[in-house]
Amino acid sequence: MTGRQHRLELADEADDAFVAAFTGMQTKIWTCLPALVVAFNVNAGETTVDCQATIQMQLTDINGNQSWVNLPTLIHCPVVFPSGGGFTLTFPLVVGDEVLIVFANRCIDAWHEHGGVQPQMELRLHDINDGFALPGPKSKPRVIPSISTDSVQLRKDDGTSFIEIQSDGDIQIVSDKALIITTATDTTLNVDGNLSAMVTGTAAVTSTGDMTLTAPNIHLNGNLTNNGVNIGSTHHHSSQYGDGGNHTGGPS
């Protein structure tokens, strides 16, 4: 409550006094605030963040002097990841990430500790201690560049790697690093349809077991080697007649 509001409560105008009183009560009602992550708590049987609110509060001392101060650190705010049906989309939150803290209108402590339906541990309303953290809001200095306007993407903020579902139904995977596909032991990786791969660098396929290629026709546009020996289009065999090193022609 500011010094002016305090004086209005003592004024003769009843309306002004009521407005000042209600405004003072509103300052105790917490709804939501942007904040910065200062700790990501995932190793203590919980998924919470400690946060510093990014909106400072104005305080007025008894002499009417005003100053801007930080709110205290908001601790153990449960993180709201998109989740349902046994699946969850998670993000590795780091110090400095921006989140939105949404405050419950009743005490959440018992629910957070035990789950299910619980009585309130304290009869508090819109309290600063009952915040949930929603990752995602971006201030202008952190705006995500080149947002796609016609596709859904799971992406790095800088756009160098992403998985995209395009408006025509095509799915595109782009990576500026390695693309790794791992299946469980004794399972099969199936590609149902045409497979076309274009690699600008070296491609390596490694298997600890047998590898089988089955198709009516297998086409190789290039040389095929086995342990360093060319068995592709320029491959030759030595003559079986021992005629001084003559070789057969290449495959046709």
Return the CATH number at 173: 2.40.50.230
Asked if residue 85 belongs to a domain, the reply is yes
Distance, in Å, from the CA atom of 191 to the CA atom of 219, rounded to the nearest integer, reads 17
What is the structure's pLDDT at 225? 78
Asked if residue 166 belongs to a domain, the reply is yes
Q: Could you report how far apart the first and last alpha carbons of the chain are, in Å?
A: 92
Mean pLDDT (whole number) for 208-213? 76
- H and E: helices and strands count for the chain: 3, 14
Mean pLDDT (whole number) for 87-115? 94
Q: How far is CA 75 from CA 129, 193, 218, 235, in A?
A: 8, 51, 60, 69
What is the structure's pLDDT at 1? 43
Task: Tell me how many domains the chain contains.
Answer: 1
Mean pLDDT (whole number) for 213-236? 74
Asked if residue 224 belongs to a domain, the reply is no
| Domain extent at residue 55 | 31-219
Asked if residue 86 belongs to a domain, the reply is yes
Asked if residue 230 belongs to a domain, the reply is no
Asked if residue 232 belongs to a domain, the reply is no
Contacts of 9 (CB under 8 A, 6+ apart): 17, 20, 21
What is the structure's pLDDT at 4? 47
Banded model confidence at residue 149, pLDDT cuts 50, 70, 90: very high
- CA 219, 220, 226, 232 dihedral sign is positive
CA nearest to 71, candidates 33, 109, 105, 107: 33
Matching residue, tokens 């690093």: 177
